Amino acid sequence: MMEYNDDGAFQMNFWVRGKLVGVHIDDRIPLTNYGPGYRDQYWWINNRVSYDGAWWLVLLEKAMAKLNVNYSNINSGRPGEALRALTGAPVMNYH
């Protein structure tokens, strides 16, 4: 079992142009502020913690956003691009 790092720092590794690149992130997750008139004033930007309490996808998304400058640059991305960045293996898209 992995222990949670007390300082909230994480490193995730991605393959970029054939080289392994480390991306450092913290555990501060950006939220959208919809204002006091909404039932849920603060809400996740994209992914959220799973029903089982798993945070890995939220942290992975934050690292991908940092690798690609910001969250806007990963919206409408292709799953194959993410798999290639994670594994370094070639991918193909089928329609």
Burial of 25 (0-12, 13-18, 19+ CB in 10 A): buried
In a domain? residue 92: no
Note down the domain range covering 48: 9-87
State the total domains in the chain: 1
Averaged confidence pLDDT in the chain: 82
pLDDT 10s digits, 14-30: 999 889 999 999 988 88
Query: Is 70 exceeded by the pLDDT of residue 2?
Result: no
In a domain? residue 94: no
In a domain? residue 80: yes
pLDDT 10s digits, 43-70: 666 677 888 888 888 888 889 889 989 8
How far apart (Å, rounded) are the C-alpha atoms in residues 51 and 33? 22
Check: CB of residue 20 under 8 Å from CB of residue 31: no
In a domain? residue 3: no
In a domain? residue 48: yes
Q: How far is CA 73 from the centre of its chain?
A: 12
How far apart (Å, rounded) are the C-alpha atoms in residues 80 and 78? 5
